[in-house]
Structure 1
Amino acid sequence: MTQATPDVPRPAASGPIRIQRRIRVEPQLAARRLDQVLAALIPELSRSRLQLWIESGQVRVDGVARRSRDKVWGGELIELDAPIEPVGDCLPEAIPLNPVFEDEQILVLDKPAGLVVHPAAGHRDGTLQNALLNHAPELARVPRAGIVHRLDKDTTGLLVVAKTLEAHRSLVEQLQARQVHREYRALVIGEVVAGGRIEAPVGRHPTQRTRMAVVAGGRPAITRYRVLERFVGHSLLAVELETGRTHQIRVHMAHTQHPLVGDRAYGGRPRPPKGASAGLVEALQGFPRQALHALRLGLEHPTLGTAMSWEIPLPADLAELLERFRGEARA
C-alpha cells in the first residue's frame, strides 16, 4: 500500500493554513501521470486543485518540482505543501443563520433576502461568509468557507455549504456534473403560455459591467421552466437550473421578455395589470427585490452516498404578493 501522512490541514508558524503530505509511490502506480497519481491518493481534493499546486511548484517529486503530465515510475517520494485559499480579511460575525440541516460534512441553510454571500466591493462584512466563520470556525480551512454555489443578495432559499475538504470536492464535482437538483419559484411579468427550456450563453454585459447578459462568447447556460399559475399580466413559474451562471435565471427570463417581478436590473419594473386593486398596485410597486426563491435542493451526501433533498416554504413577502394576485382572480 502507498503510505502517506494524515491529511490534516495545519497552520504554519504564521500565515495561512496549509495541507502537508508525504506520499511514497508504490509500483502499481507506475507509468501514470503525476496529477492522476495524486488524485487517486488524495481523493478528497479535486484534480484541478492538485494540478494548480503542481504547476505552482508546491508539489515535489524526490525534491524536484515536476509538471502535471510527468509520469512516475514507483518508489518516488511525493511531497505536498500547499496553502488552502485564505478567506482574506473576512472575520467571523455573529449574524443569525437559519440551518435546515447540518452534520459533520454539510450545512444546508435557508438564506434570507438582503444577505450577500461573499465579501466584495461595497460589502466587506455582514456577509454569509462572515456568518459561517462564526457558526463553524473550522470552515476557515475550507476554500471560501465552504460556499460552493451562491444565491444573489436578494434571492431567498436553500444553499448548501461544505464543512470539510472532502465534502467540498464532492459538491463541486456534483455541481460540475449537473447532479445537484435546484428548483426555484419565480414570479415573472407577462402571461407565459407554456413551459420550456432556455439554452443561451451568459456572460458579462458588453457595456454595463455590473450586469450579465446573453452574449455570444458567454458560458453555456441552460434553464428549464414550467408554468404553475397564471395571473393577469403575470405568471408563477417553477424553474430548474442545469447550470449555475451568475444571475442565470434573471438573465434568461429577461431574455424571453418575462423578467422577474422586482428585478429592476433586468427590466422587472412594476407593471400592475389594468384594473388592479389599489392593494395589488401598492404591493407590486413596493416589492423590493427580484421575486425569486430557491425552494428545493437535492444532492448526494458527500460521504454517505445517499440521496438527500430539502424543501422550504416561500418567504413571507413573496407568499403575500401571490395571495394578492389570487385575491384579484377571485374578486
Structure 2
Amino acid sequence: MILNSAPDSAELLFEPDLDDEIEGDFANEGVDYSPITLELSPDACGKRLDKVVAALVPQFSRSRLQQWFEGGHVRVDGKPARGKDTAYGDETVVIEPQPAPEDTAYAPENMLLAIVHEDDQIIVINKPAGLVVHPGAGNWSGTLLNGLLHHCPQLVSVPRAGIVHRLDKDTSGLMVVGKTLAAQTDLVRQLQARSVKREYLALVWGTPHLSGTIDAAMGRHPKDRVKMAVSTHMSAKPAITHYERLATGTLDRRPVSLVQCRLETGRTHQIRVHMQHLGYSLVGEAMYGKQHLVSAFHRQALHARRLGLDHPGTGEPCEWVVPLPADFAELLGAAGIPEPQAQ
C-alpha cells in the first residue's frame, strides 16, 4: 500500500510543528520483499560478510540487514550466515527481506471510533485517552490512522489519512479529519490562519490567576529531545495559550484548579508545557510534572472539549462540544469540583 507517494497541496502546507505536529511519513513506498540472490566476486575475499552484503544492497539499511542476519534470513550456500563471517568471494548469498513494523503502519484496522459527526467532507472524532493518533516509533499499529483507513478506505489517497492535527496519546477529546484532499487542505489552511477554535479543560496543581495569556515560544528541550520546552532559541516557534480559571478544589489535601485553555497556536504538548512554565503543572503529568504527584491520576488531566471551524465544503461555521470522559469527571468529583456546563 502506498499512501501519499508524492507531495501535494495539503502535504506542502504542513509545517514541522503545526498543531501537535505529525512528524515524518512512514508509508512504505514500493519495497520489494522477494528474495535477493547475490553471487560474490573475488573482490569480496577477506571482507566481513555484512559489509559486503550492505554494499551490494544499498536500498536497505545496515541495521535492518543486521536484523536479517540475526533472524536467519541471510544464507550463504544454503546455510544461515552471520554478519561477522568472512567472505571468500565465490559464495552464493540469498537474502530473504523481511518487512519492518513501519512498512505496514498504514494497514487498515477494525476499531471502534467515537464519531461525533461525519459527512462527505469531514469526520469529527472524540478520541479516547490511550489511543495514539499517528504511527510512529513504538506505535506502528493500533493507531487512529489505522482505524480511519478501515472506516473510510478512500482515505488511503489522502495524505496521512486526512489527519490535520493530533492529540497526545493520553489526552482525550475532539479531532477533525478531512475525508478528501480538498477538505484536508482547507482545514490545514484554517489551522495556519489560527481560525480553528480549540478549547480544552485541564486540572492543574495550585491556583493560577483568574485568567491570562501565555505567549511563550516553544522548541525541543535542549537536553531531552522527547520533551518540548519554552525557548528563546532562534528555532523556537510562536506558541500562545489563553486560559481561564473556572473552579478550585482539593486533591490529596493539595489545592487544584480547573482551567479552561484556548489554543491560538498548536505546538506539541503546548498546554502541558505552558501551564508547567507558569508553575501549575497538570494533575497526572508524568513528563513535565513533579514525580511525587504523578500517582494522583493515571494520565495528564487534559481534555479537548470544544472544536469550532468553518466547514470546508459549505463554509458554514460548525462547532462541537463533548462532555468529560468518565475518568476525568471522577477526578473532578474527588476534588470537589462540578463538571462545567458547556456554554
TM over 0.5: yes
Question: 2:190 is matched by which residue type in structure 1?
Answer: Q
TM-score by structure 2 length? 0.67
Say yes or no: does 1:294 pair with 2:316.
no
Say yes or no: does 1:248 pair with 2:277.
no
Quick one: which of 308, 316, 321 aligns to 2:331? Answer: 321
Q: Which residue of 2 aligns with 1:36?
A: none
Deviation at 1:325, TM superposition (A): 1.1
Q: Is the 8 A contact 1:221 1:245 kept in 2?
A: yes
Say yes or no: does 1:172 pair with 2:182.
no
Q: Which runs of 5+ in 1 are unaligned?
A: 1-13, 20-43, 50-84, 272-283
1:308 and 1:210, CA in 2 relative to 1: closer, same or farther beyond 3 A? same
Deviation at 1:327, TM superposition (A): 7.4
Question: 2:277 is matched by which residue type in structure 1?
Answer: H
Q: Which residue of 2 aligns with 1:189?
A: 205
What aligned pairs does 1:136-215 form with structure 2 within 5 A after superposition?
Answer: 136-215=152-231
Higher relative contact order, chain-length normalized (CA < 8 Å, sep 6+): 2
Identity of aligned residues (%): 52
Deviation at 1:15, TM superposition (A): 5.6
Deviation at 1:169, TM superposition (A): 0.8
Partner Cα distance (1:111, 1:15) in 2? 26
1:86 and 1:287, CA in 2 relative to 1: closer, same or farther beyond 3 A? closer
Deviation at 1:193, TM superposition (A): 2.7
Quick one: which of 111, 120, 135 aligns to 2:127? Answer: 111
Partner Cα distance (1:105, 1:295) in 2? 22
Deviation at 1:107, TM superposition (A): 0.1
1:15 and 1:240, CA in 2 relative to 1: closer, same or farther beyond 3 A? closer
Partner Cα distance (1:285, 1:149) in 2? 29
Partner Cα distance (2:315, 2:290) in 1? 41
Give the greater-gyration-radius structure (CA).
2
Q: Which runs of 5+ in 2 are unaligned?
A: 14-24, 29-103, 339-343
Q: Is the 8 A contact 1:192 1:230 kept in 2?
A: no
Question: 1:300 is matched by which residue type in structure 2?
Answer: D
Partner Cα distance (1:86, 1:326) in 2? 45
Q: Which residue of 1 aligns with 2:238?
A: 220
Partner Cα distance (1:176, 1:114) in 2? 27
Question: 1:145 is matched by which residue type in structure 2?
Answer: A
Question: 1:256 is matched by which residue type in structure 2?
Answer: L
TM-score by structure 1 length? 0.70
Deviation at 1:285, TM superposition (A): 2.9
1:116 and 1:179, CA in 2 relative to 1: closer, same or farther beyond 3 A? same
